[in-house]
Every structure is written in C-alpha cells, then in structure tokens.
Amino acid sequence: MPKRVLTTESGAPVADNQNSATAGVGGPILLQDQHLLEKLARFNRERIPERVVHARGSGAYGYFEVTDDVTGFTHADFLNTVGKRTELFARFSTVADSLGGADAVRDPRGFAVKFYTEEGNYDLVGNNTPVFFIKDPLKFPDFIHTQKRDPFTGKQEPENVWDFWAHSPEVTHQVTWLMGDRGIPASYRHMNGFGSHTYQWTNEAGEAFFVKYHFKTNQGIRCLSTEQAQELAGKDPNSHQTDLVQAIERGVNPSWTLYVQVMPAAEAAEYRFNPFDLTKVWPHADYPLQRVGRMVLDRNPDNVFAEVEQAAFSPNNFVPGIGPSPDKMLQGRLFAYADAHRYRLGVNHTQLAVNAPKATVADNYGRDGLMATNAYGRARKNYEPNSFDGPVETGRPLAAPLAVSGYTGTHEAPAHTKDDDFFQAGELYRLMSEDEKQRLVANIAGGLSQVSRDDIVEKAVAHFHAADQDYGKRVEEAVRALRED
C-alpha cells in the first residue's frame, strides 16, 4: 500500500521535512523556504486565547434519550417522543483557574450540553451546583477578578476573594455549597449537573412554564476532601480528564438522569421568594423533580483542541418550545457567552464541526468574516426578503412572550416575602451531619483566616451568623484560632 504524501497547506508535496533550505551547506536559512515559514507560522498560531472562565475543561460526545412524556410542558421536538435519541456534546470544566491549572481543586464545575436537535442546536449551560454566587451580571466581572490572579502578586489572593464576598451577602448560599463536602468532585462522572438558571418551556397550546434542570449522576456522588485533592492535584493535575477519557475508552460510559422542576408561569409572581434569583433553589416539596430522560457519553473527541477547546456554548441557542426567563444572570449570559466566542474563535465559530448543527442545516444570510466556509454560489442572495427562494421566517416564536411593565432604570429585584440572602444557606447547613459541618467550617476558616484586615473578616463572619447562629459561631471561633496560631 503506497504511503500518504506529506504536503504543504496548499497541497504541494514536501520534498524534505528534516532540513531547512540554506544558502549553501551550513549557510543561513533562505526566506524562500515556503515549507519552513508555513510550518513555523502555523506553530506560532496553534494557541488561541483561553476562556476567561471555564478555561480548563474536558468533553465527550453522546446522546440524550427521552424516557418520560413531557409534551404537556414543552413542544420542543427533541423531547416530543419517549425513546427518541438526540446526539449531543458535553463539556465539563473548572471555573476560576487557567488552562494549566489542576482538575482536583475546590471550585464550581461547569456543566454544558449541546443538543444537536432537528430544529437547531440547543445549548444548556450550567454548573454542578444549583445556585451561584451573585444574582446580577453587572457584578460578574468584579467577582471573577477576585477569583483570578491578582495584578500585583500574580497569584490568587484569599484577601481578594473574601473581601468581595464580605461585601456581597448573596454569596452565602453558594459559599456553603462550595466549602462543603461536594466542593471538590472526585471526577466529572461522579457529580450532578444543574441548569442553575430558570428557563421557560412552552407547550403546543402556548401555555408557559418555568423550569429548572437537574442532571443526577448514575455513577453516584463521589467527592474529595481538601487533603485528598491536594495530593491528587500534585500526582495528576489532569485527574478528571484522565478519568473521563479512560472510562469511555473502557466502555464504561457515564450517564446522568435528567429531571426538571416545573412551575406554572402564573405562580411566579406570588412565590415566596424571587424564583428567578440564581442564588436560591426551589424546594422540592413545592416543585418535585419530574424525570425527562437520560444523557449518556460514549465517544471521546478525536482532537481535544478542535472539539473541546473550540466548543462554543451559548445559552441563547434555544429551540422552539424553550426560551429564557427574567433571570437577570441568564439575561446577561445571553449576550456574554456568544460575544466571548466571537472574540476567541471568530464570528464564524458556529461553522466549526463541533458547533455546527448536525441534525439540520444552518440556512441564513450571514456571510463572510474571518474563516468563513459558507461560500454559497452566485444564485444565493445575502439579503431578505428576496425573490429568489431564500430562507424565510416562520412567524412562530420559540417561546411565550414575557410580560413587562414599569419604567426603565436600574432596579432591585421585586420583593417577595422570603427574599433574603441567608435563609437557604442556613437550611443547607442544618441538613448537614456533624462531621460535614466540621469540614465545612474548617474549609471556610482555612481561607478566611489568611485575610489581613479585621473588618473584612468581621463582615464575612456576620453572613454566617445571619444564616445560622451555630454556623456563625463555629466559623468565628475557627478563624480566631487559626489567626492566633
């Protein structure tokens, strides 16, 4: 069988891939060596800007299979038939660290799923926690700056983290999650996933519902203690990547069961707290979990850069029957995610194989730009409306309209009877066993005790007192003991 011929980018055969062209034996390299220049220039450009958040991640392909009838809540095509399967790509990630960070760290995990549906790609972008630190996207850049490297010291600073948290009481619930036993998953396979935000489903009759997504791992929850994580991060910084790749290669395909909580849209306004507040969960006693289907990952990417690094998830990629809610953090992300991809990957990132629709074809009037591959023939017009059989609008909204009223301006969220920042953190604390409480307090105190200013410590401790008096007392005593050592 003849060997394949090595070529340049333009397809010309390469005569010598071991020696550069020189001016005589031992002489200087010639500018005319096209193969050398092309090879070095491409090498210089192998890396693109890493994600500002969620830089370090792993991904895999698989499918979603509907197991229960949810057509009473949504007319989304990929959810309309029990037994129906839809191809998908999932990406898991840490949030704060850079691409070179370790997997086994105390940090939320991104949990993003791209469903390649027959009505277009649906991107569900969430985390492994049901809540988040803040409720308004205006605070997001400031929050992330506290999690990243300090511009002077060049490293992550506990003082920055706790100073911001001390000034932001809404973080108390998420901090309790993060510093608890589930703060460091043992692997991506052994953690739950959540849509976190509130989304809207609309059924065939036009009835609107608000929903929250819950992906429950079928492998069981496994987590690491702080000490175990520190040891593992030193031994194998790629521990989560290693685990996911090897499991799928062995045929041990990880899976999750998807459940949703469903709230009739009419109930949202009178609910006891703001149901669109990302720092709060909906109690299951009010809105029980309803099973939808299962997600299975069964194929590793062939090229991590092309398919994981270049995977672009945007929460504004909806399909008919699914839409946004008034969740302010979600509203901010509808812009921010797509804009981040346009910066990192270019305006035509949706044409990359991992991001392009698979069960349908993208057909619109977007043209040109860097790395455009949709070079249609001369019969295809780039404007609408036209008289040349171009694609036309359907006239059917993807989801039900959201009612709005009042005056424009910067407004705080509408007040509900239980809209405080602490009661759910206290409820979570009181659910913990004594051992879990001790580990939670130790994890919080370990970071907070490194803060130099007393006023920052006092503000932060006050949040835990407000959540639960025992919680606050233990944190205060543990921090004092560590600072006195």
Please list the active-site residues: 54, 127
Of 225, 164, 189, 175, which is closest to residue 453 (Cα–Cα)? 164
461-464's contacts with Cβ under 8 Å and 24+ in sequence apart are 463/165, 463/166, 463/169, 463/171, 463/172, 463/175, 463/421, 463/422, 463/425, 464/172, 464/425
Phi, psi (rounded to 5 degrees) for 395: 80, 5
Query: Using the 8-state DSSP alphabet, how is residue 255 labeled?
Result: E
CB atoms within 10 A of CB 86: 21
Contact 89, 354 (CB under 8 A): yes
**Chain centroid to CA 188:** 13
Of 91, 13, 34, which is closest to residue 59 (Cα–Cα)? 91
Give buried/exposed letters for 230-252 (b at 16+ CB in 10 A, else e): bebbeeebebbbebbbebbeeee
Structure token digits, residue 460: 């932060």
- Strands in 270-400 per DSSP E: 290-299, 322-323
Residues 6+ apart with CB under 8 A from 225: 181, 184, 439
Structure token digits, residue 70: 């949810």
Reduced to 3 states, what is the DSSP secondary structure of residue 254?
Answer: coil
CB atoms within 10 A of CB 63: 19
Between the CA of residue 54 and those of 128, 141, 436, what are the distances in Å?
Answer: 13, 14, 28
